[in-house]
Structure 1
Amino acid sequence: MSQDIIDSLAVGYVLVEWTIRVIMLIVVPLRRSPGAARGWLFVTFFIPIPALIVYLLIGRPTYPRWRRKRFEKARQLLANATDEISHSKFCSHPILPETYAPAAKLVQNLGQFPILGGNRIDLLSDYDRTVDQLVSDINGANHHVHLLSYIFANDRTGSKVIDALIRATERGVECRVLVDALGSRRWARTIRNRLTSEGVQVARALPVTFLRRRSARADLRNHRKIAIIDASIGYIGSQNIIDAEYAPGLFNRELVVHVAGPVVLEMQAVFAADWYLETGQVLDDATYFPHRHGKGSIMAQLLPSGPDFPVTGAGRLVVALIYSARQRIVITTPYFIPDVALVEALETAVLRGVEVNLILSRVSDNILVGLAQRSYYDQMLRAGITIYLYGDGLLHAKHIMVDDLICVVGSTNIDIRSFQLNAEASLIIYDEKLARMLAAEQSKNIASSERLSQEVWNQRAVPVKLAQNIARLVSPLL
Structure 2
Amino acid sequence: MENTQAQLSKTNGFISAWQRWRERANGKPSLARLNCLPIGAERISVLSSPETFRTTLLAMIAQARQRILMTTLYLQDDEAGQEVLSALYAAKKAQPQLEVAVFVDWHRAQRGLIGKARSAGNAALYREMAQRLGPGVEIYGVPIQRRELLGVMHLKGFIIDDCVLYSGASLNNVYLQRNHRYRLDRYHLLQNRPLADSMAGLLTDVLRNGPSVYSLNTAKAPRTVAIQKAIVKFRRELAKTHYRFGETPLKHGEVGVTPLIGLGVRDNELNAAILQLIQHAEQRLVLFTPYFNLPGPVRKSLDIKIKAGCQVTIVLGDKTANDFYIPPNEPFKAIGALPYLYEANLRRFCRTHQRAIDAGTLNVHIWRDGDNSFHLKGLLVDEHYALLTGNNFNPRAWRLDLENGLLIHDPHKLLLDRHLAELDQILAYTQRLRHHKALDAMDTYPIPVQRLIKRLARVRADRLVNQVL
- TM-score, length-normalised on structure 1? 0.67
Query: Is 1:297 aligned with 2:254?
Result: yes
Whether 1:123 aligns to 2:50 is no
CA offset digits 1:91-137 (Å, max 9, x no partner) = xxxxx9x9xx63253xx5xxxxx301034211123112212211211
Partner of 2:196: 264
Query: Measured at CA, do residues 126 and 455 of structure 1 come closer, stay the same or move farther in structure 2, by a change above 3 Å?
Result: closer
Q: 1:111 — aligned with what?
A: none
Name the amino acid aligned to 2:185: E
| Separation of aligned partners in 2, 1:242 and 1:359 | 24
Q: Which amino acid aligns with 2:256?
A: M
- Judge conservation of contact 1:254–1:397 (CA < 8 Å) in 2: yes
The match for 1:89 is none
Q: Give the drift of 1:404.
A: 2.0
Q: Contact (CA 8 Å) 1:301, 1:428: kept in 2 or not? A: yes
What residue number does 2:224 align with? none
One-letter amino acid of the structure 2 residue matched with residue 160 of structure 1: E
Gapped regions of structure 1 (runs ≥ 5): 1-95, 109-113, 209-214, 282-287
Give the superposition deviation at 1:461. 4.5
2:357 is the counterpart of 1:400: no
Q: Does 1:378 align with 2:347?
A: yes
Deviation at 1:167, TM superposition (A): 1.9
Alignment partner, residue 274 of structure 2 = 318
Residue 344 of structure 2 aligns to which amino acid in structure 1?
Answer: S
Name the residue aligned to 1:205: 142
Deviation at 1:226, TM superposition (A): 1.6
Paired residue for 1:239?
A: 169
Corresponding residue for residue 107 of structure 2: 182
Deviations 1:337-380 (A, max 9, x none): 11222221111101211001110010222334323322222343
Cα distance in 1 between the residues matched to 2:32 and 2:341: 32
| Residue 372 (structure 2) pairs with residue 391 (structure 1) | no
Counterpart of 2:159 in 1: which secondary structure? Answer: strand
Supply the distance in 2 between the matched residues of 1:280 and 1:248 (Cα, whole angstroms).
Answer: 33
Match of 1:446 among 399, 423, 427: 427
CA 1:376–1:435: 2 relative to 1, 3 Å: farther
The one-letter code sitting in structure 2 at the alignment partner of 1:178 is F
Report if aligned partners of 1:166, 1:195 keep a CA contact under 8 Å in 2. Answer: no
Shift of 1:310: 4.1
Q: Which of 130, 147, 151 does residue 220 from structure 1 map onto?
A: 151
Matches within 5 A, 1:40-439: 102-105=30-33, 108=34, 114-119=35-40, 120-170=43-93, 171-172=95-96, 173-185=98-110, 186-195=121-130, 197-206=134-143, 215=146, 218-230=149-161, 232-244=162-174, 251-261=182-192, 262-272=194-204, 273-277=206-210, 278-279=212-213, 297-307=254-264, 310-362=266-318, 363-366=321-324, 367-381=336-350, 382-383=352-353, 384=356, 385-392=362-369, 393-431=372-410, 432-439=413-420
Separation (CA, whole Å) in 2 of partners of 1:463 and 1:259: 45
Letter in 2 for 1:332: F
Letter of the structure 2 residue corresponding to residue 452 of structure 1: L
Report the secondary structure of 2:53's partner residue: helix
Stretches of structure 2 that go unaligned for 5 or more consecutive residues are 1-25, 111-120, 216-243, 325-335, 357-361
Counterpart in the other structure of 1:56: none
| Counterpart AA for 2:383 | D
Q: CA RMSD in A?
A: 3.3
Query: Partner letter of residue 240 of structure 1?
Result: S
Give the distance between the partners of 1:430 and 1:446, measured in 2 at CA: 23
If you compute each CA radius of gyration, which structure gives the higher value, 1 or 2?
Answer: 1
What residue number does 1:473 align with?
463
C-alpha change, 1:443 and 1:155, in structure 2 (3 Å) is same
- Looking at structure 2, the residues matched to 248 and 461 of structure 1 have their Cα atoms a distance apart, in angstroms, of 33
User: 1:326 offset after TM fit, Å?
Assistant: 0.3
Pair 189,336 (structure 1): closer, same or farther in 2 beyond 3 Å: same
Identity of matched residues, %: 19
CA distance in 2 between partners of 1:199 and 1:255 (Å): 30
Q: Judging changes above 3 Å, is the alpha-carbon distance between structure 1 residues 249 and 117 closer, same or farther for their aligned structure 2 residues?
A: closer
Q: Distance in 1 between matches of 2:37 and 2:144?
A: 34
TM-score by length of 2: 0.69
- C-alpha deviations, 1:421-459, integer Å up to 9, x for none? 111111111122323312221222222111122253376
Aligned residues: 358
Cα deviation, residue 303, structure 1: 0.7
Deviation, structure 1 residue 181: 2.3
How far is the alpha carbon of 1:254 from its aligned partner? Answer: 1.3
- Does the Cα contact within 8 Å between 1:256 and 1:410 map onto a contact in 2? no
Cα gap change, 1:104 to 1:411, in 2 (>3 Å): farther
Q: Is the 8 A contact 2:141 2:214 kept in 1?
A: no
Partner of 1:71: none
- C-alpha distance in 1, partners of 2:377/2:414? 19
Deviation larger for 324-333 or 452-461: 452-461
Cα separation, partners in 2 of 1:189 and 1:243, compared to 1, 3 Å: same
Partner of 2:239: none
Closer/same/farther in 2, CA of residues 358 and 275 from structure 1, 3 Å limit = same
SS at match of 2:338: helix
Per-residue Cα deviation, 1:238-277 (whole angstroms, up to 9, x for no partner) = 1111112689985201112211112222211232222222
CA deviations 1:191-210 (Å, max 9, x no partner) are 243146242122111188xx
Matches of 1:144 and 1:247, distance apart in 2: 26
- Tell me, in whole angstroms, the C-alpha distance in 2 between the residues paired with 1:315 and 1:444: 28
- 2:39 counterpart SS class: strand
Deviation (angstroms), 1:176: 1.1
8 Å CA contact 2:39, 2:255 repeated in 1: yes
Q: 1:207 to 1:266 in 2, by over 3 A?
A: closer
Cα distance change on mapping 1:195 and 1:133 into 2, 3 Å: farther
